[in-house]
Structures are given as C-alpha cells and as structure tokens.
Structure 1
Amino acid sequence: MRLLLTSAGIKNASIHDALVDLLGKPVGEANALCIPTAAYAMPGGVGSAWRFISGRSVISLCEVGWKSLGVLELTALPSLGEELWLPSVREADVLLAGGGDALYLCHWMRQSGLAELLPSLRETVYVGASAGSMVMAPSIGKDFSESYAWKPPTGDDGALGMVDFSIFPHLDHENLPDNAMANAQKWAAGIPRPGYAIDDETAIKVTDGSVEVVSEGHWKLFAP
C-alpha cells in the first residue's frame, strides 16, 4: 500500500502532485472512499464528521475533485457481511482517513477488519490527515493519548505500526498552541523511534518502504 500522510490534507500543489504520483492518474479519474470514524470520539464529532465528508472541514481531502466519493464508516462494518462492503474497498483507488482521535480510529480499524486488509491493498493509496496519519505509526505518543477522552481497551498508545515512525501534526498551528515546536520536542523524547513533526503544508510520502517528505511549509525529524 502506498501512503500519503498529511497534517491537514491536500493543502498545496506539492502535496497534490505527490498524490497524483502515487495514484498514477489524475485525481478526477480516481474513485475514493472517505473514513470519518476518528471524528466521533472528539467533542462536536458528529458535526466534524459531516464537515469532513461534505468538504467543509479545515482538512482538505473529500473536496479535491474525485471521480466518485463514498463513505466507509468503520463502526458499521462488524455488523455487516463482508460482501456488502469489501468489494467497494477493493475497487477504490484511494482511502481518505480524516482527523479526530487516532486511538479510536485504530480500534475501529482493527474491529472492522480494515487493518488486517490494508497490507493486501497494494494498488490502493491511503491518504491520512491528522489522526488518519498518526494511526499508521507503531504508537502515537503518550502526550496525545493522555489528551483523548476516549480510552482504548488496551490502555496504551499503540497504533497500527504500518510505518516505523510516529507523527506530530499541525506543527506551530496558530489555533493550536499545544502543537508548538517545544511540545513536539517533548513528545519526541517520549517515543522510542523516529518522529516527524509536520505542519499543515507538509506530507510524508511512503512508497514500498521509501519515505519522502513533501513540504511547502516546515517540519522536523526527531531521532529516537
């Protein structure tokens, strides 16, 4: 699976070009499924999920001109037969995972069976924003997990481990003072692996294990 891990979606031409490169075709020829699940575990999550799906969110993923767009709600999948949703996932060119609570998203990726399925989707592009990117790491870091109201059954900050680094999104965002560089440094000191702090103009492109930072903003790689 090819990954484009962003802080806030397709925010500039460089990130858009990276997406097209991963897709191997224009965005307007690609079929997408969006995953709003992470939003529901946050205050005001019902409205956030609607804004994400309808393209009215601060995260830019659903409104970039896809050929088609569907909604993949992970909390519904365990109650459905796979024949009702699996073909749509396999046929999609891209999965779009939005922001919210990364541990809640991780839980439902596992419960729904999507986490187990993802490695087999070798031609699919996964685009994450905020929590949708953080969930791909081995862990999100206790600084984030302790700030979430929802607590996973495991009680820890573990995530999917589909990449070997962690992500601190929204670096130095003017409306998120807790995401300042000083706090990113503190977060990085608490994780036993590389950590990328990225702003909303930055993305991490992962192709066959090769990692490339695409940015028109600023970012920092912290060594473990």
Structure 2
Amino acid sequence: MRLLLTSGGVTNSSIEAALVDLLGKPIAESNALLIPTAIRPFPGGAALAWKTISGQLPPPLSELGWKSLGVLELTALPTIDVDSWVPEVREADALLVGGGHVRYLSYWLRKSGLANLLPSLCGTVYVGVSAGSIAATPYNCDAEWNHRFLRSDSEVAQEPDRPLGLVDFTLYPHLYRTDMPPTPLSEMQEWASGVPVPTYAMDDETAIKVTDGDVEVISEGDWELFNP
C-alpha cells in the first residue's frame, strides 16, 4: 500500500504533487473515500464531522476536486454486510483518513475490519491527516492526551493503545503551530527517545510519502528526524 502521511492535509503544491504521483493520475480522475471517524470523540464531534466532510475544516482534503467522494464511517461497518462496503473500498483510489483522536480511530480501524483489508489494497493511497497519519504508525504520541475523551468503562478505553504499524517509523505532527496548545520541540524529542523507531516531527507544510517501503519527506516547511 502507498501512503501519504500529512500533518495538516494537502497544504501546498509539493504535497499535492506527491499525492498525484502516488495516485498515478490527476485528482480529478480519482475516486476517494473520506473517513471522518477520528473527530467524533471530541466535544462538538457531530458538527466537526460534517465540517470535515464538507471541507469546512482547515486541513485541505475533501475539497481537492476528486472525481467522486464518498464517506466511510468506521463505526457503522461492523453491522453491515461486507459485500456492501468492501467492493467500494477496493475500487477507491484513495482513503482520506481525517484527524482527531488516534486511539479511537485505531480501535475502529480494527473493529470495522478495515485494518485487515488495508494490506491487500495495493492500488490504493492511504492519505492521513494528523491522527489519521499517526494511526498508520506503530506508536501514538497523543496516547496520554487521548484518555480525556473516552468513557473509562468503554472497550476502546480498556484495550491497549495500538496504532496499526503500517510503517516502521512514527511521527509527531503540528510542529510550531500557533493556534493549538504548543508542544515544544524538546518535548517531542523527549517522547521520541522512548520509542524504538525513527520519529519525524513535522509542521503542517510537511508530509511523508511511502512507496513500497521507501520513505521520502515532502516539505515546504520545517521538520526534524529523531533516530532511536
């Protein structure tokens, strides 16, 4: 599977060019499915999900000019016959995995069955934004913060926090972003020192392109690599 792991979405021409390269054709000729599930645990999650779908939230994703765009809500999939949604996933050129709550998203990627399907989607591009990107890695830099938005007696809160590990590195998004609670670079570095894989700290003008295991940083901004 090919991946484009972004901090803030498709925010510049370099990241857009990387996406087109991964797709192998223009965005206007590509079909996408948007996954808004990660935003639901936050206060106002219903409105935020709609804004994600309609392109009203800042990360440029759904409004890029796709040939077609559908919504894949992970929480609904366990109750639906697989013949109703798996063919649609297999036919999609891109899965757009929105930001929000990493732990909740990782749980539902597995619970829905999509996580088991992902390795077989050789022609599909996984496009992550923030939590959608972290969920593809083996470690969750937001693990401690994520506990605040889950019911303590829920299954998702009681299970181990396990992102999917589709890649052999992890990342810390939103470097130097001023409209969010600041995470100093030194704090990112300290967290990275506790995980056994490379960690990319990156701003919203940066993405990581993964093609057949080859990793390439795409950036018009700032990023740092912390090796284990």
TM-score, normalised by the number of residues in structure 1? 0.96
* 1:29-76 Cα deviation digits (max 9, x unpaired): 000000000001122221211111000111111000000000000000
SS in 1 for 2:76: helix
Alpha-carbon distance in 1 for matches of 2:42, 2:183: 17
Alpha-carbon distance in 2 for matches of 1:58, 1:191: 30
CA drift at 1:154:
5.1
Residue in structure 2 matched with residue 219 of structure 1 by the alignment:
223
Alpha-carbon distance in 2 for matches of 1:67, 1:44: 30
2:48 is matched by which residue type in structure 1?
A: S
Please list, as runs of the form range in 1=range in 2, the aligned pairs for 1:160-199 lying within 5 A after superposition.
160-199=164-203
Please list, as runs of the form range in 1=range in 2, the aligned pairs for 1:86-105 lying within 5 A after superposition.
86-105=86-105
SS in 1 for 2:25: coil
Alpha-carbon distance in 1 for matches of 2:187, 2:51: 28
CA contact 1:173–1:180 (8 Å) conserved in 2: no
RMSD of the alignment, in Å?
1.2
Please list, as runs of the form range in 1=range in 2, the aligned pairs for 1:72-221 lying within 5 A after superposition.
72-141=72-141, 144-148=142-146, 149=148, 150=150, 152-153=156-157, 155-221=159-225
CA drift at 1:83:
1.1
SS in 1 for 2:217: strand
Alpha-carbon distance in 2 for matches of 1:138, 1:93: 24
Residue 16 of structure 1 pairs with residue 7 of structure 2: no
Alpha-carbon distance in 2 for matches of 1:47, 1:7: 21
2:93 is matched by which residue type in structure 1?
A: D
CA drift at 1:155:
4.6
CA drift at 1:92:
0.5
Q: Gaps spanning 5+ residues in structure 1: where?
A: none
1:147 is matched by which residue type in structure 2?
A: W
CA contact 1:29–1:66 (8 Å) conserved in 2: yes
SS in 2 for 1:128: strand
Residue in structure 2 matched with residue 43 of structure 1 by the alignment:
43
CA drift at 1:176:
1.9
2:120 is matched by which residue type in structure 1?
A: S
1:137 is matched by which residue type in structure 2?
A: T
* 1:80-131 Cα deviation digits (max 9, x unpaired): 0011111110110000000000110000000000000000000000100000
* 1:168-214 Cα deviation digits (max 9, x unpaired): 01111011243331221122122221111110000000000000000
SS in 2 for 1:109: helix
Alpha-carbon distance in 2 for matches of 1:194, 1:39: 27
Equivalent residue pairs, number: 222
